[in-house]
Amino acid sequence: MPKTGMEPIRRKALTDAAIEAIGARGSMDVTMSDIAGRAGVSPALAHHYFGSKEQLITASVRALLSDLRADTVEALRKARTNRARVSAIIAVSFSEEQFSDDVVGAWLAFYVIAQRAPDIRRLLSIYSRRLHSNLMSGLTPLAGAHDAERIAEGAAAMIDGLYIRKALGTGPARHDAVALVEDHIETQLLEIRGRTL
């Protein structure tokens, strides 16, 4: 008989194991057995909970997005100014958990599979819209809607680019990645202030 209350724990273990396995491999070239072994459960149980590897991968993307959203909400709750909101979003994007080798590798593998998996593509589009919206919430009062749009697009592109460089082993350390994006934001805001003087 299955233990009561174990399903959410095992589901979480399986999504964590999928992210770890995909991130370590850098591709979707993993099996349910690989993932189940990392999670400490049988492949049959993994299939019972998720049905297929594709469903487990979709659940894993959702889990990553859920964690990122929770971290972002908490960071924004603590931000006291619009500029602090922007910094909080950048810091969360490069947090120790989000910018770990396995998570970065998994993100990139998910982007690759999104080209032929509509559910994954939709979830990654949600991430992109959320990042943009969160950046705009802090930037618009500081720069106006038009300039905020441009700055937010640049910051999002830098974040994505730094993830790619990290996956290739050529990217900067976490703190340096934060500094690069912060420098982009601050340079753009200084330029706007200069135009209004």
What is residue 3's predicted lDDT score, i.e. its pLDDT? 61
CA atoms of 51 and 183, how far apart (whole Å): 46
Cβ 85 vs Cβ 138: under 8 Å: yes
| CATH number 1.10.1060.10 is the correct assignment for the domain at 6-196 | no
According to the model, what pLDDT value does residue 193 have?
A: 83
Ranges of the chain whose pLDDT falls below 70:
1-4, 196-197
pLDDT at res. 98 = 92
Q: Please tell me the predicted confidence (pLDDT) of residue 2.
A: 53
pLDDT at residue 28, as a whole number: 87
- Of all residues in the chain, what percent are helix, strand and coil, respectively (each to 5)? 80, 0, 20
Q: Which of 105, 117, 123 lies closest to 163, judged by CA?
A: 105
CA 12 from chain centre, in angstroms, equals: 17
Separation CA 22–CA 24 (nearest Å): 6
Burial class for 91, CB neighbours closer than 10 Å (0-12, 13-18, 19+): buried
Minimal CA–CA distance to 131: which of 106, 107, 157, 105? 157
Per residue, what are the HEC states of the chain? CCCCCHHHHHHHHHHHHHHHHHHHHCCCCCCHHHHHHHHCCCHHHHHHHHCCHHHHHHHHHHHHHHHHHHHHHHHHHHCCCHHHHHHHHHHHHCCCCCCCHHHHHHHHHHHHHHCCCHHHHHHHHHHHHHHHHHHHHHHHHHHCHHHHHHHHHHHHHHHHHHHHHHHCCCCCCHHHHHHHHHHHHHHHHHHHHHHHC
pLDDT at 1: 42
Amino acid occupying residue 37: G
